[in-house]
Structure 1
Amino acid sequence: MGGPEHVANIACIDLFCGAGGLTRGLQNVGVNVVAGVDVDQACKHAFEVNNNAKFLLEDVSELAPEKLNDHFGDASIRVLAGCAPCQPFSTYSQRYETVGTPRWGLMYHFARLVKNTRPEFVTMENVPTVIKHDVYKDFVRTLVNLGYRVSSGVVDCTKYGLPQTRRRTVLLASLDRTIELIAPPEDAIHTVRDAIGTMPALKQGQSSEDDPLHAAARLSDLNLERIRASRPGGTWRDWPQELVAECHRKDSGRTYPGVYGRMVWDAPSPTMTTQFFGFGNGRFGHPEQDRAITLREGAILQGFPLDYSFVPEGSPIHFKTLGRMIGNAVPVTLGEIIGQSILASLDETEKPTNREDDHETKRECGKTLVA
Structure 2
Amino acid sequence: MKFRVLDTFAGAGGFSLGFQLAGADLVGAIEIDSWACDTFRYNHPEAKVIQSDITSLTDEEILFHFGNDRPNVVLGGPPCQGFSICNKNNGDPKDPRNSLFEEFIRVGRLLDPEVMIMENVPNLIKAKTESGELVVDIIVNELKKIGYFVKYKILEATDYGVPQIRKRLVVIATKKEISDPFPPKTHVIGEQSDFLRVGMPKCPTLWEAISDLPEIEARQGSEVQPYTKPPENQYQKTLRGKSSQVHNHKAMNHSSRLVERFASMVWGQSTSDVPDHLKPLKRNSTEMSDKVYDQNNRRMFPHKPCHTIAASFYANFVHPHKNRNFTAREGARIQSFPDTYVFLGKPTVVSKKLLGREGRTDESYLCQYNQIGNAVPPLMANAIAEHLLKCIEDVACLSTETILSKKKITKQNILVEYQKNTLQKSA
Whether TM exceeds 0.5 here: the answer is yes
User: Is 1:301 equivalent to 2:334 in the alignment?
Assistant: yes
Q: In terms of mean alpha carbon deviation, does 267-276 or 89-98 score higher?
A: 89-98
Letter of the 2:52 partner, please give it: E
Alignment of 1:252-271 (within 5 A): 256-271=293-308
Q: Corresponding residue for 2:164?
A: 164
Deviation at 1:241, TM superposition (A): 3.3
Letter of the 2:248 partner, please give it: L
1:147-203 Cα deviation digits (max 9, x unpaired) = 311111101111111111110000111111315101011334121112101111111
Distance 2:10 2:304 in 1: 29
Tell me the SS of whatever aligns to 2:299.
coil
Distance 2:380 2:294 in 1: 28
1:83-133 Cα deviation digits (max 9, x unpaired) = 112345585545589656999710012122222332111100000012224
Distance 2:60 2:202 in 1: 41
User: Is 1:288 equivalent to 2:321 in the alignment?
Assistant: yes
Query: Which of 111, 123, 126 is residue 117 of structure 1 equivalent to?
Result: 111
Letter of the 1:36 partner, please give it: A
Q: Corresponding residue for 1:174?
A: 174
Q: 1:165 to 1:198 in 2, by over 3 A?
A: same
> Does the CA-based 8 Å contact 1:82-1:125 persist in structure 2?
yes
Q: Whose Rg is larger?
A: 2
> Does the CA-based 8 Å contact 1:158-1:188 persist in structure 2?
no
Letter of the 1:351 partner, please give it: S
Query: Which of 259, 262, 282 is residue 224 of structure 1 equivalent to?
Result: 259
Tell me the SS of whatever aligns to 1:287.
coil
Q: Corresponding residue for 2:348?
A: 319
> Does the CA-based 8 Å contact 1:88-1:94 persist in structure 2?
no
1:265-300 Cα deviation digits (max 9, x unpaired) = 11111111222223xxx2x10000111110111111
User: Is 1:272 equivalent to 2:309 in the alignment?
Assistant: yes
Q: Corresponding residue for 1:338?
A: 384
Distance 1:304 1:147 in 2: 34
Letter of the 1:113 partner, please give it: V
Distance 2:401 2:128 in 1: 31
Distance 1:168 1:102 in 2: 18
Q: 1:46 to 1:154 in 2, by over 3 A?
A: same
Q: 1:130 to 1:302 in 2, by over 3 A?
A: same
Q: Output the aligned Cα RMSD.
A: 3.0
Q: Corresponding residue for 2:78?
A: 84
Deviation at 1:331, TM superposition (A): 1.4
Tell me the SS of whatever aligns to 2:66.
helix
Letter of the 2:166 partner, please give it: R
Distance 1:181 1:265 in 2: 30
Q: 1:352 to 1:136 in 2, by over 3 A?
A: farther
Q: In terms of mean alpha carbon deviation, does 54-63 or 291-300 score higher?
A: 54-63
1:289-345 Cα deviation digits (max 9, x unpaired) = 11111011111111111121222xxxx744132122111112112221221232022
Q: 1:152 to 1:204 in 2, by over 3 A?
A: same
Q: In terms of mean alpha carbon deviation, does 134-143 or 14-23 score higher?
A: 134-143
TM-score (norm 1): 0.81
The one of the two structures with greater contact order (alpha-carbon pairs below 8 A, sep at least 6) is 1
Alignment of 1:1-371 (within 5 A): 8=2, 10-51=3-44, 52-69=46-63, 70-71=65-66, 73=68, 78-89=72-83, 92-95=86-89, 99=93, 105-131=99-125, 132-134=127-129, 135-178=135-178, 179-185=180-186, 186-208=200-222, 210=225, 211=246, 213-236=248-271, 238-245=273-280, 256-278=293-315, 282=316, 284-311=317-344, 317-320=346-349, 321-348=367-394, 349-351=397-399
Count of aligned residue pairs for this structure pair: 334
Of all paired residues, the percent bearing the same amino acid is: 29
Tell me the SS of whatever aligns to 1:115.
helix
Distance 1:253 1:238 in 2: 13
Letter of the 1:277 partner, please give it: Y
> Does the CA-based 8 Å contact 2:8-2:77 persist in structure 1?
yes
> Does the CA-based 8 Å contact 2:85-2:93 persist in structure 1?
no
Structure 1, unmatched stretches of 5+, are 1-6, 355-371
> Does the CA-based 8 Å contact 1:177-1:350 persist in structure 2?
no
Structure 2, unmatched stretches of 5+, are 130-134, 187-199, 226-245, 283-287, 350-366, 403-427
